[in-house]
């Protein structure tokens, strides 16, 4: 079974970060020098070959958060979320689960274990929640984080994976995520989380007339539906945990699973104090 270490605040987390730092840097230097390594894949439940470099870089360094890709197609971040889901569900296939992606390898791997999982993508403004749209030969359900079409108190588990930084009104999104969960249900997600930040850093905003204002240089991430990519509105820090509590969640924690043999390491960002991100997930229970 996979091992997370859980934190509810900055102080203990920073202590942990300091404790693993020299081991972390050494391990990631080694991994970055390799083309391929062997490791344990939580989805394959066995030792597989991982391709270290997925073609995403920080200067000359491979981004290991997107890299360390298993033969099954899941990279570091996706195996992390997979193992968090496995832990949460205790492998029960009948949980009422939704994940806000549908065209990804992660969705397909999850569907093998959880045949009832509901996948969706954000199909753009004007799309209707819960409606299917054709994408690359399959029908894909549209969901928007700020206006979910799920009934209130209908899900045991809802998951999203590097989506929240692209949602301008993310507090509304947290309220929606809370609304659709049953009492005792859980939200699990990843997002770029900067452990030195108390409050989120806002990089762009949408003005009252609907236009976009950039507050810093634009940052776009890959988007399976929109070829332009998705604009990053926020870099999150510890205030995100307070926002989750404010939305009603009863138990909010950051979980770290730093495990070199499972290919769960940081993104390998050379700016250790700001850009470096450990393999963390955020878990919030209703
Ligand atoms: Zn695998």
Distance 210 CA to ligand 1 centre (A): 42
Q: For residue 87, what pLDDT is reported?
A: 94
Q: For residue 2, what pLDDT is reported?
A: 57
Segments in the chain below pLDDT 70 = 1-2
Distance 176 CA to ligand 1 centre (A): 32
Distance 43 CA to ligand 1 centre (A): 5
Distance 260 CA to ligand 1 centre (A): 15
Q: For residue 175, what pLDDT is reported?
A: 98
Q: For residue 73, what pLDDT is reported?
A: 97
Residue with tokens 């947290």: 174
Distance 123 CA to ligand 1 centre (A): 28
Distance 261 CA to ligand 1 centre (A): 13
Q: For residue 273, what pLDDT is reported?
A: 86
Distance 7 CA to ligand 1 centre (A): 27
Q: For residue 66, what pLDDT is reported?
A: 93
Q: For residue 25, what pLDDT is reported?
A: 95
Distance 81 CA to ligand 1 centre (A): 13
Angle between helices 170-180 and 239-246 (to 10 degrees): 50
Domains of the chain: 5-202+234-285 (3.40.50.150)
Distance 131 CA to ligand 1 centre (A): 31
pTM of the entire predicted model: 0.94
Distance 37 CA to ligand 1 centre (A): 13
pLDDT digits (tens, 9 = 90+) for 170-181: 999 999 999 999
Distance 41 CA to ligand 1 centre (A): 5
Distance 151 CA to ligand 1 centre (A): 33
Burial of 142 per CB tally in 10 Å (0-12, 13-18, 19+)? buried
Distance 106 CA to ligand 1 centre (A): 10
Q: For residue 127, what pLDDT is reported?
A: 96
Residue by residue, what is the 3-state secondary structure of the chain? CCCCEEECCHHHHHHHHHHHHHHHHHHHHHHHCCCEEEEEECCCCEEEEEECCCCCEECCEECCCCCCEECCCCCHHHHHHHHHHHHHHCCCCCCCEEECCCCCHHHHHHHHHCCCCEECECCCCCCCCCCEEEECCEEEEECECCECCCCCCCEEEEEEECCHHHCCCHHHHHHHHHHHEEEEEEEEEECCECCCCCCCEECEEECCCCCEEECCCCCEECCCCCCCCEECCEEECCHHHHHHHHCCCCEEEEEECCEHHHCECCCCCCCCCCCCCCCEEEEEEC
């Amino acid at each position: 079974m996979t091992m997370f270490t859980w934190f509810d605040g900055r102080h203990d987390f920073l202590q942990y970060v300091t404790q693993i730092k020299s081991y972390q840097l050494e391990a990631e230097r080694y991994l970055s020098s390799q083309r391929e390594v062997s490791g344990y894949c939580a989805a394959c439940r066995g030792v597989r070959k991982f391709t270290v470099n997925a073609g995403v870089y920080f200067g000359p360094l491979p981004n290991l958060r997107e890299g360390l890709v298993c033969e099954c197609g899941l990279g570091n971040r996706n195996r992390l979320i997979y193992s968090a889901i496995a832990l949460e569900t205790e492998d029960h296939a009948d949980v009422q689960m939704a994940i806000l992606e549908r065209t990804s390898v992660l969705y397909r791997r999850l569907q093998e274990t959880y045949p009832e999982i509901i996948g969706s993508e954000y199909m753009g403004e004007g799309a209707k929640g819960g409606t299917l749209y054709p994408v690359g030969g399959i029908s894909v359900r549209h969901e928007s984080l700020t206006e979910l079409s799920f009934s209130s108190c209908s899900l045991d588990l809802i998951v999203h994976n590097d989506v929240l930084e692209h949602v301008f009104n993310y507090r509304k999104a947290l309220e929606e995520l809370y609304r659709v969960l049953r009492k005792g249900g859980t939200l699990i997600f990843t997002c770029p989380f900067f452990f030195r930040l108390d409050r989120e850093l806002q990089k762009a905003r949408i003005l009252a007339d609907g236009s976009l204002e950039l507050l810093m240089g634009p940052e776009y991430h890959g988007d399976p539906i929109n070829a332009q990519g998705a604009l990053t509105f926020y870099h999150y820090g510890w205030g995100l945990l307070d926002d989750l509590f404010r939305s009603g969640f009863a138990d909010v924690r950051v979980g770290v699973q730093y495990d070199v043999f499972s290919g769960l390491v940081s993104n390998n960002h050379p700016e250790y104090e700001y850009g470096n991100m450990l393999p963390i997930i955020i878990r919030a229970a209703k």
